[in-house]
Amino acid sequence: MFDLLIRNARVLDGTGGPWFRADVGVSGGRIAAVRRKLAGDAARTIEAADRILAPGFIDMHTHSDLRAFRHPEEDAKLMQGITTALIGQDGLSVAPLDNANKEPMMRRVSGLLGTYLEEWPWNTVGEYLSALEKAGPATNTMTLVPHGAVRSIVVGWENRPASPSELGEMQELLAAAMRDGGCGFSTGLIYPPGMYADRNELVALCRTTSENGGFFVVHMRNEADFLLDSIREVVGICLDAECPLHVSHLKVAGKRNWGKAQEALSILEDARDKGLEVTFDQYPYTAGSTMLDAVIPPRFHAGGTGKLLERLQDPKVREEIRKVQEEITFEPWENWIASCGWEGILVNSVKTEKNRFAEGKTVAEAASEAGKSPLDFVCDLLVDEDNAVTMTQFYGCEDDVKTFMQSPYMTLCSDAIVGGKPHPRAYGSTARYLGKYVREEKVLTLAEAVRHMTALPAGRLGLQDRGIVREGNAADLVLFDPGRVIDRGTFAKPDIYPVGIDLVVVNGNIAMEDGKLAASRSGRVIRA
């Protein structure tokens, strides 16, 4: 007798092959049988009615490191069929940390990860993952080891290279964190303190990552004017370190750079020809989202968030920032003002009622309402909110999105940051991918799209028993209607669930059915 039996499904097994008709039986959290016709009873039988049955979707880039402690139901993930998520992104996460660096990191990531906990009762990655297990998230979770956390323990928040002894200490911390369960190493080269690392540091840490069976996940230094140089930088680092490379949310930012997607892919393809294992992730939108303080040039972040906020109150510093932002000096930093303009940057979330009026408005609109220049408004807002502000940047074009989407080594992500009026990708990435780009615009086939969300990321993560509908594998499954699935969230009303994703199974248990979440949660923390 099966625990669950799904009959008459069109199975897309995740490998990229065409669909086939089958019944799928589940027992003990595993796929027990995949047959044209299955005999026998089940505790629960579901008629697929010609819908697609696929492996659970894997989100290769999300920021739910803390959200599960307050919202373990993981509604935004389950409603779009996500059963496994990778956290610890951009070099900014919650472990490993010593006690001295907990408060600085809390301030640094408050906009990115939220303020769901007043204190972090852990130091190591192992302790953090144990705490996450106790929270009982409804989806599976894997984590990367964040560069920024490791660097803060050893070097602090200063803009300087690590000494040889400090680098050795960082390598030891990284290796220990990977033994605790981290599957790879992440950095954000536009965020402090990771932005202060030199090539020597990154090569050494990537070598440690590779020696411990992991891969390097990087938010590059620049995704706009210096996009191609930034790709060459991380490819060169990984070739020297003999470490697999995964590029976060690959994009082309700024109108004057549109059309560079194929050049970017050519660099990655050349690296693969040289023997480097390269993958990347992408969210299916032409706008991104991150912390608002990313509009401030790197040198003003030195010393940590407290020092940044002190500097932002100095009129002379503001004038220096203004010059760097507006005079487009082609410094190799991610100048979002040059790429988007203040009218192309939306305020997503704040933490105080005083500034709630700004949520959902562009910086230009909110600044005008406040009677301030855009830069003065941003500086005052960051100070008022103790840096806990996120933004959306409208930077891209559809042609580049589609070019990246067609790459055989693209994995899908949401890059979800939830709070305020977030980017709608937090609620609709998978459905938008399947509805807009597969069904409506036919950018790629449905079988290819499912592979990008299942078997391909599972392979990248080293998950041997997930990502494919196969007997013996973990029963992470999604049943969806390919003729109906679509996202519904907008930038004005982002937190709207998609339609067309009808059933989600996590580790053999129904987690969502017909738009309703199950009371029980069966997600697992997966240690590498």
Quick one: average pLDDT of 319-340? 81
pLDDT tens digits along 179-212 = 999 999 999 999 999 999 999 999 999 999 999 9
Rounded CA-CA distance 370/380 in Å is 11
Residues 203-227: what's their mean pLDDT? Answer: 97
**Across residues 292-312, what is the average pLDDT?**
94
pLDDT of amino acid 151? 98
Q: Could you tell me how many helices (H) and strands (E) the chain has, helices first?
A: 18, 21
Q: Does domain 57-286+396-464 have CATH number 3.20.20.140?
A: yes
**Beta bridge mates, 310:** none
pLDDT tens figures, 236-293: 999 999 999 999 999 999 999 999 999 999 999 999 999 999 999 999 999 999 999 9
Do 307 and 298 form a contact (C-beta atoms < 8 A)?
Answer: no
Task: Give the mean model confidence (pLDDT) for residues 389-413.
Answer: 97
Task: Report d(CA 62, CA 452) in Å as an integer.
Answer: 16
Domain segments of the chain: what residues? 57-286+396-464, 302-393
For residue 51, CA distances in Å to 54, 125, 128, 131, 491 come to 10, 40, 39, 38, 30
pLDDT band at 330 (very low <50, low <70, confident <90, very high): low
Q: Which of 158, 177, 57 is nearest to 104 (CA)?
A: 158
The pLDDT value given to residue 325 = 84
Q: Give the pLDDT of residue 91.
A: 98
Q: How far apart are the first and last CA of the chain?
A: 32
Q: What integer is the mean pLDDT of 412-430?
A: 95
- pLDDT at 185 (0 to 100): 98
SS (H, E, C) 42-59: ECCEEECCCCEEEECEEE
Q: Could you read off the pLDDT of 78-131 as tens digits, one per residue?
A: 999 999 999 999 999 999 999 999 999 999 999 999 999 999 999 999 999 999
Query: What is the predicted pLDDT for the residue at 329?
Result: 56
pTM to 2 decimal places: 0.96
What residues does 278 pair with on adjacent strands?
Answer: 245
Average pLDDT in the chain = 96
Q: How confident is the model at residue 326 (pLDDT cuts 50, 70, 90)?
A: confident
Chain centroid, CA 177 distance in Å: 20
Q: How many CB atoms lie within 10 A of CB 93?
A: 28
pLDDT tens digits, one per residue of 62-72: 999 999 999 99
Amino acid code (one letter) for 112: L
For residue 186, count other CB atoms closer than 10 A to its CB.
31
What are the tens digits of pLDDT across the range 133-175?
999 999 999 999 999 999 999 999 999 999 999 999 999 999 9
Reported as a single tens digit per residue, the pLDDT across 499-513 is 999 999 999 999 999
Tokens 């009371």 belong to residue: 519
Tokens at 173, concatenated: 């911390």
Task: Please report, rounded to a whole number, the percentage of residues in the chain having pLDDT higher than 90.
Answer: 95
Structure-token match 């659970």, residue found: 56
pLDDT per position as a tens digit, 4-57: 999 999 999 999 999 999 999 999 999 999 999 999 899 999 999 989 999 999
Strands 501-506 and 477-480, bridge-based pairing: antiparallel
